[in-house]
Amino acid sequence: MTYVAKPKLHHPTLAKNKIGYTRRDYEGKVSTLCAGCGHDSISAALIQAFWELEIQPHKVAKLSGIGCSSKTPDYFLGNSHGFNTVHGRMPSVLTGANLANRDLIYLGVSGDGDSASIGLGQFAHVMRRGVNMTYILENNGVYGLTKGQFSATADKGSKAKKGATNTDAPVDTVSLALLMGATYVARSFSGDKQQLTPLIKAAIAHPGAAFIDVISPCVAFNNHLGSTKSYDYVREHNEAVNRLDFWPNRETITVDYSAGGVIEVPGADGSILKLRKLHADYDPSDRINAQAMIASAAHKGEVLTGLLYLSPDAEDLHAHLNTYEAAFNKLGEKDLCPGAGMLEKINAGLR
Ligand SMILES: Cc1ncc(C[n+]2csc(CCOP(=O)(O)OP(=O)(O)O)c2C)c(N)n1
Ligand code: SF4
Ligand SMILES: [Mg+2]
């Protein structure tokens, strides 16, 4: 089975968002992934997040690499722009698209093989450059598509389905993203849609490189005893540092909070992010403390989830480079080709 068309009909009472779309309008083709694969739950959270944010699907560009995870953009946002690139090369293609047209909302979807093995360099550089994007890493600790080899995020000592032990040290992608200068860093679990959906919404609103590592069990090759990326292991060792709620710009807040332990973070676009603290000593604006807490949790075999770091003064690549605001495809010949006089002036400035 490689392709199944989805029926277009839907129930007339299906709820619509303020721009008149139902959740079905944010879906894609029928998934061909294994039943129970964590990646499908991440697609469901993405559909929910874009529907709740009332984003027009044609305003979104979704780019991915190669892998089961990288196939998923076909299963959501069927009316958005999409580019299934080359293994480990999504970040550079996305960077180019973003530089040419900043008017779109950029979503990068990748796997642990795609990002932490062949694409490790690209991953590091897209974070340090601050490309305005939401980078979702669907982390199952294996190369699912090529039948379950250990990936670079597999924990040392964890077991493969047939019993082999992984002897290599793991790449911890959230630590790396922090080290590289990402301005929004989170970790979540595909089995926790309540936590994941607002994390995605806040990442989309974030003006810079937003990274979410989502532990996403592979039921075919890495969901057994001895795996640290199985549903059972993550449920037993999930340590949430906070819970997040997100309101897009200036919407009335109707939820009640007890005053203690809640931080309110206003976004540059008028949105509001509320963080309910679960760990008294966890401050997501403190990069050094975040790094220490992540390392300490990993040492204890815990999976630290939630919003791990948020920079209060994030900027994106366009701000760093002071680029021209209009998308290249909106510029006329006069702007793109300012003539011999201008060329002479530029050349003179370089002499
Ligand atoms: C250049 C290149 N090298 C190797 C492959 C083979 N290959 C395809 S997918 C994949 C690994 C995918 O693993 P991951 O990114 O973790 O995705 P998952 O399938 O686990 O979601 C590999 C090695 C390829 N397609 N291209
Ligand atoms: S092989 Fe693993 S990652 Fe790929 S679809 Fe099946 S469960 Fe998901
Ligand atoms: Mg994988």
Q: What is the mean pLDDT of residues 233-253?
A: 86
* CA distance linking residue 23 with residue 76, whole number of Å: 10
What is the predicted pLDDT for the residue at 150? 98
- Give the per-residue pLDDT at 260: 54
Q: Which residues line ligand 1 (CB under 6 A)?
A: 66-69, 87, 111-114, 118, 138, 140, 142-146, 151
DSSP 8-state assignment for residue 215? E
CA distance 93 to 206: 20
pLDDT at 253 over 80: no
As a whole number, mean pLDDT of residues 3-13 equals 75
Rounded Cα distance between 257 and 337, Å, is: 56
Q: Within 13 A of 326's CA, how many CA atoms are on the CB side?
A: 7
Answer yes or no: is pLDDT of 142 > 60: yes
Is the pLDDT at 251 greater than 70? The verdict is: no
Using one digit for the tens of pLDDT, what is the confidence trace for 310-326? 998 899 999 999 998 99
| Cβ–Cβ < 8 Å for 320, 200 | no
Q: What is the mean pLDDT of the chain?
A: 93
Rounded Cα distance between 276 and 274, Å, is 6
> Does residue 126 carry a pLDDT above 70?
yes
Region 11-36: mean pLDDT is 94
Ligand 2, atom 8, residue with closest C-alpha: 37
Overall average pLDDT of the 27-50 stretch: 98
CA-wise closest residue to 47 among 63, 23, 64 = 23
* Atom of ligand 2 lying closest to residue 68 CA: 4
DSSP strands (E only) in 65-151: 81-84, 105-111, 133-139, 142-143, 149-150
Q: Could you report the per-residue pLDDT of 160-185, keeping only the tens digit for each?
A: 999 999 999 999 999 999 999 999 99
Cα within 13 Å of Cα(249), Cβ side:
8
Closest Cα to atom 1 of ligand 2? 144
Residues 6 or more apart in contact with residue 230 via CB below 8 angstroms = 217, 222, 223, 224
Kindly report the backbone phi and psi dihedral angles of residue 63, in degrees, each rounded to the nearest multiple of 5, phi listed first: -125, 145
What's the rounded Cα separation, in Å, for the pair 209 and 213? 13
* Torsion sign, CA atoms 195, 200, 203, 205: negative
Q: Counting beta carbons within 10 angstroms of the beta carbon of residue 303, is it exposed (0 to 12), middle (13 to 18) or buried (19 or more)?
A: buried
Length of the chain as a residue count: 351
- Looking at residues 195-219, what average pLDDT do you find? 97
| Mean pLDDT lowest among 12-16, 189-193, 207-211 | 12-16
268-290: average pLDDT: 87
Residue 98 to residues 105, 109, 127, 269, 345, Cα–Cα distance (Å) = 9, 15, 14, 19, 28
Among the residue ranges 45-54, 207-216, 308-317, the one predicted with the least confidence is 308-317
Which string of DSSP letters, residue by residue, matches 148-176?
Answer: -EE-TTSPTT-B-TTSPBP-SPPP-HHHH
Burial 253-272 (b: 16+ CB within 10 A, else e): eeeeeeeeeebebebeeebb
Q: What is the mean pLDDT of residues 77-94?
A: 98
Quick check: 265 pLDDT over 70?
A: yes
Specify the ligand 2 atom closest to the Cα of 222. 2
Quick: pLDDT tens for 283-304.
Answer: 899 999 999 999 999 999 999 9
Q: Which residues contact 26 (CB under 8 A, 6 or more apart)?
A: 47, 50, 51, 57, 76, 77
Mean pLDDT, range 3-11, rounded to an integer: 73
**DSSP state for residue 59 in the 8-state scheme:** G
pLDDT score, position 262: 82
- Residue 1: the pLDDT is 47
Which residue has the least CA distance to atom 9 on ligand 1? 67
CA-111 nearest atom, ligand 2? 3
pLDDT at residue 153 in the model: 98
Look at 46-55, 108-117, 210-219, 248-257 and tell me which has the smallest mean pLDDT: 248-257
Sign of CA dihedral 111, 44, 188, 183: positive
State if residue 219 touches ligand 2 by the CB under 6 angstroms criterion: yes
User: Would the pLDDT of 85 be above 90?
Assistant: yes
Mean pLDDT, residues 118-123 taken together: 98
Quickly state the pLDDT bin for 222 (edges 50, 70, 90). Answer: very high
Give the integer Cα–Cα distance in Å for 311 and 307. 11
Q: Which of 229, 172, 160, 203 is nearest to 45 (CA)?
A: 203
